[in-house]
Structure 1
Amino acid sequence: MDIFQSIEEHPGIVRTVELHTSGEPIRIIISGFPKLQGNTLLENRRYASENHEVDRVRKWLMLEPRRHQGMYGAILVKETELTRSGEADIEVLFCHNEGYSTMCGHATIALGRFLVDTQDVEIFPRRALLQLHKNNVDGEIITVLRLHTPCGVVTVTVPTTPQNKSDGSKPVRFRYVPCFVASPLEQGITIEVPMQMAWPKLIQRGNQQQIQVRVDISYGGAFYALVSSEELGFTSLQSSDAELFKELADAARILRILLLNQDPQIRKSLVHPEEPDIGFLYGITILDSSITPNLHLKKNLITWICFFADEQIDRSPTGSCVSAHIPLALDQNQLEMGQWCSYQSFLSTQFPGNEFRGRAIERNTKGYVIELEGFAHYTGTASFVPPQEKIDTMGSGFVLKLPSNM
C-alpha cells in the first residue's frame, strides 16, 4: 500500500471522479487544478485557455498517457459572479483534447448525479442548500440544481432516493439556455467543395469542378454545423467498418476548414448575440439519412455522429447538439412544441437504453428552451500526479491519430 500513500501525498496531485454518459467519458476534476483568475466564469475560461501553466494541466489530464484523444473533462469552480449573486449553486468549465468548450450535455447529466451524491463542502460549498422536492406530475423525489456553465445557467433535475443520493435507474433531466437556428432557415449555408479537397464518396455524387454541400448552423449552448450523410455522399452510418469512420472524419475535417474560410455569411452565423467568447464553430454533426432522410422525423428518432474540437468523436448522442437540432426541426415544421424526440449516436444504437431524449418546452425572444434527459454511470475515481517533464518527456500529453485519407 506504500505506493498508494506516496501518490496521495504528492504535492501536485489532481483528484477526479469518473463517469460515462452513453459511453462518452467524463472526468470531473474535484481538486488540484490550478487556481483560475477572473471575476466571471467566462474570464476564468479565457484565463485557463491563455495561461500556459494552467492549460498544461488540462493537456496531461485529457491526453495520453493518462487518457486519450476522446477524453472529456469538467473543472468545478466553487465561486464566480452567479454564485455570489445567488443565481447559481456551483460553476463548471468543460474541457477536451483541444481546449475549453461552452456547454456539454453529457457532462451536465453526469455532474447532476455527482453533485447530488457528494456531501463534501470542500468540493461543493453550497451542497447543504440543495433541497428535496416532489415532482408535481408523478410524485418522484428530485433535487434541483442550478449549474452555471460558460453559456449560462442550466437547471438540472436529479431523481433522488430517500437516502439523499442520486437514483441512477432514472434519467437526469435539464433545461438549456435559449437555443436557436443561426443560418438562414430556407437555404441554410452552401459550401463550395473544390474537387482537390473532395472525398471519394462526394466525388461519386457529381463530377463538377466544384461540388456544393448544404449545411445548417444552429446553437445549443455551442454552435454546430448539421448536415445529412446523403448530402456528403454517404448512404448510411450503420456500419462497423473502420474505413467508413475514417472517411466521415475526413469529410468533417474538410467541412470545418471550408466553413471557417468561406464567405462572411458563415462568420455571421457564428456570432452569439450576447457573448463574443461563445461565437465559434464547435462541432460538425452528420445525420444518418437512412434513418432520418432529409431530417424528417417520422419515427421521432435521429441517429448521427458528431466530430468536435480536434477531430474528437462523441460516443454519446451529444446533448448540446440535440439542443441545437430541435430548433431547426421546429422551424422546419418537422417537430412540435413539447414533442419528445429520441437521439442516438453511431455507437449508442448498439446498446439499448443509451439514447438522449429532448423536446422544446418554451419559446421566447431569445430562442427555444430545450429540455433534455439521459443516464450517467460511475466508473471510478482517480488520483494523478503531474509529469516530471525533464525525465518523462511523454507525460505532458500527446495525441495518437490515424493518418488522414486526404
Structure 2
Amino acid sequence: MGGETEVRTIDYHTGGEPFRIVTAGVPEIPGATVLERRTNASAPEIDRVRRLLCHEPRGHADMYGCFLVPPDDAGAHLGVLFWHKDGYSTACGHGTIALGVHAVESGLVQADSDGDTDVVVDVPSGRVTARVHCSGGVIESVTFRNVPSHVTARNVPIIIPTAARTGAPGAAGTGAAEAIHVSGATRGAAEVAVDIAYGGAMYASLPAGAFGLSVEPRHLTDLIALGRAVKAALRDHPAARHPTDDRLSGIYGVIFYDELGPGHQRNVTVFADGEVDRSPCGSGTAARLALLHADGFTGELTHDSIVGTTFTGRVAEVRGDAVIPEITGMAYRTGSHRFVLDPRDPVGPGFTLR
C-alpha cells in the first residue's frame, strides 16, 4: 500500500494512565538538548505523528505518549519528549516509570535480576532516574527520582466564575457552581486560594472540598471544568513562572485533592486543556510532596488516583528550598502496535472529541 505513513509503538499503562512509546516512524528531531528538541518537535512533519497517535481514531482526548530521542550526554541512557493531545509537556512521572519498565523489558538497559537497576532519562525539565526493582527476574516496582521540586507560592487568591455551563473551556459546571455558592460565593463568582508548586512542571493545588466536591468519578465533569477555570485564572500569573528557565513556566496542571488520613491523599490532576490523569500523577505527586514538606510532613505519602490506583512518595533529599522527591509505582505493557495512515484517508491525522 504505497504512500502510507507507518508508526510503531509499544504501549503501557501506569496506574491506569496510558503511555504510548514510539519506536519507529518519527522524523529526526533536531536540537542539542532534549529541551531544545521539545521546541523543535512542533515542526509540522514531526507534530503530525503526535496528532496521528493521540487523536481519534487511533487515540483519544486523554491519550499520552512520547518520542524517544538521544540524551543530552553519555550520562543518561535515553532522552524523551512527552506529548498529549495539546502538545508537549516538560515532565511526566508516570511516563518515566513506564520508560524504566520498557528499558529493562526491551534490553535497552541490562538489569540485575534480583535488585535495583537505574535507568537514567533526560526529560525537558532535567535528568531523572527510574530505579527498577526486580526479584527473580521479574519487575516488581519502579521508583521515579525527580528533578528538584519546590514551592512557588501559597494561598494565591483567584476568582472562579460560577454561572457558566459544565464543559465550557475555562468555566465551572452547574453542579460545581451550586457547590461554590453554598460555600459563600455571591454575584456569580467565587474566590478560592491555590498553592503553586513545581515538580518538573507547574501545578496549582487545592482541595476538591473548596467547591463542595470530592475526588470521585461522579464529580469528574465538574472537576474538569473547574480545572480549566483555575488554569485560566492563573494564566500569566507571576507565581507560575519558573525562576531560571521561562520554557518551564506556566501552569500545566491543576490538582484537586481529598485528605483521607495522615499521609494519605486522593487526587485528580486536570492538565493541558481539560485532560485527566488516570494515575496519581508522578510529577504532580512531586509538587504535592514539596508543599507537604514545607508544612512539616516528613513521612511517606500514599497518593491515590480517581480510579483507585496508588503511588507512594517521599522526600529523599533536601537541597536548600527544594526537595528531591521519589515516587514509586508500576507500569504494565498493554500492547504493541503498527499504526498506518492511508494518504486517501479524509480525516488525516485525526480529531478529538470530549
2:39 aligned counterpart, secondary structure? helix
* Residue identity matched to 1:320: S
* Residue identity matched to 1:250: A
For residues 226-305 of structure 1, the aligned pairs below 5 Å read 226-234=205-213, 236-238=214-216, 240-241=217-218, 244-260=219-235, 267-288=237-258, 291-292=259-260, 298-305=261-268
Q: Alpha-carbon deviation of 1:203?
A: 2.1
Say whether residues 1:346 and 2:306 are aligned partners. Answer: yes
2:49 aligned counterpart, secondary structure? helix
Quick check: which has more Rg, 1 or 2? Answer: 1
Question: Does the aligned pair in 2 maintain the 1:65–1:395 contact within 8 Å?
Answer: no
- Number of aligned pairs? 342
Question: Does the aligned pair in 1 maintain the 2:162–2:178 contact within 8 Å?
Answer: no
Judged with a 3 Å threshold, the aligned counterparts in structure 2 of structure 1 residues 132 and 332 are, in CA distance, closer, same or farther, namely same
1:297-342 C-alpha deviation (Å, 9 max, x unpaired):
x432110111111211111100111000011111112x11xx2111
Name the one with the larger strand percent.
2
User: 1:25 — aligned with what?
Assistant: 18
Q: Alpha-carbon deviation of 1:194?
A: 4.4
Say whether residues 1:394 and 2:350 are aligned partners. Answer: no
User: 1:115 — aligned with what?
Assistant: 103
Say whether residues 1:105 and 2:72 are aligned partners. Answer: no
Q: Alpha-carbon deviation of 1:143?
A: 1.5
Q: Alpha-carbon deviation of 1:366?
A: 5.5
Say whether residues 1:150 and 2:124 are aligned partners. Answer: yes
| Structure 1 residue ranges without an equivalent (≥5) | 1-5, 134-139, 262-266, 293-297, 402-406
User: 2:169 — aligned with what?
Assistant: none
The separation in 1 between residues aligned to 2:18 and 2:159, in whole angstroms, is 35
Moved more, 29-38 or 201-210: 201-210
User: 1:404 — aligned with what?
Assistant: none
* Residue identity matched to 2:124: P
Q: Alpha-carbon deviation of 1:233?
A: 2.6
Cα RMSD between the aligned structures?
2.0
Q: Alpha-carbon deviation of 1:274?
A: 2.7
1:206 aligned counterpart, secondary structure? coil
User: 2:191 — aligned with what?
Assistant: 212
| Structure 2 residue ranges without an equivalent (≥5) | 165-171
The separation in 2 between residues aligned to 1:215 and 1:280, in whole angstroms, is 15
* Residue identity matched to 1:380: G
User: 2:332 — aligned with what?
Assistant: 377
Q: TM-score by structure 1 length?
A: 0.80
User: 1:74 — aligned with what?
Assistant: 66
The separation in 2 between residues aligned to 1:222 and 1:346, in whole angstroms, is 21
The separation in 1 between residues aligned to 2:126 and 2:262, in whole angstroms, is 32
Judged with a 3 Å threshold, the aligned counterparts in structure 2 of structure 1 residues 144 and 387 are, in CA distance, closer, same or farther, namely same
1:182-219 C-alpha deviation (Å, 9 max, x unpaired):
114xxx20012345456232123224234210111111
The separation in 2 between residues aligned to 1:299 and 1:365, in whole angstroms, is 26
Question: Does the aligned pair in 2 maintain the 1:147–1:155 contact within 8 Å?
Answer: yes
1:171 aligned counterpart, secondary structure? strand
User: 1:44 — aligned with what?
Assistant: 37
The separation in 2 between residues aligned to 1:162 and 1:252, in whole angstroms, is 43
User: 1:264 — aligned with what?
Assistant: none
* Residue identity matched to 2:318: R
The separation in 1 between residues aligned to 2:60 and 2:44, in whole angstroms, is 20
The separation in 2 between residues aligned to 1:158 and 1:146, in whole angstroms, is 11
The separation in 2 between residues aligned to 1:282 and 1:193, in whole angstroms, is 18
User: 2:52 — aligned with what?
Assistant: 60
Q: Alpha-carbon deviation of 1:230?
A: 1.5
Q: Alpha-carbon deviation of 1:161?
A: 5.3
The partner residue of 1:310 within 267, 273, 279 is: 273
User: 1:357 — aligned with what?
Assistant: 312
Question: Does the aligned pair in 2 maintain the 1:63–1:397 contact within 8 Å?
Answer: yes
The separation in 2 between residues aligned to 1:148 and 1:366, in whole angstroms, is 23
1:112-162 C-alpha deviation (Å, 9 max, x unpaired):
01111213xxxx5xx4xx5649xxxxxx42211111111111122112356
Question: Does the aligned pair in 1 maintain the 2:134–2:141 contact within 8 Å?
Answer: no
The separation in 2 between residues aligned to 1:19 and 1:52, in whole angstroms, is 26
The separation in 1 between residues aligned to 2:310 and 2:111, in whole angstroms, is 29
The separation in 1 between residues aligned to 2:11 and 2:161, in whole angstroms, is 43
Question: Does the aligned pair in 1 maintain the 2:77–2:119 contact within 8 Å?
Answer: yes
The separation in 2 between residues aligned to 1:340 and 1:23, in whole angstroms, is 22
The separation in 2 between residues aligned to 1:74 and 1:95, in whole angstroms, is 6
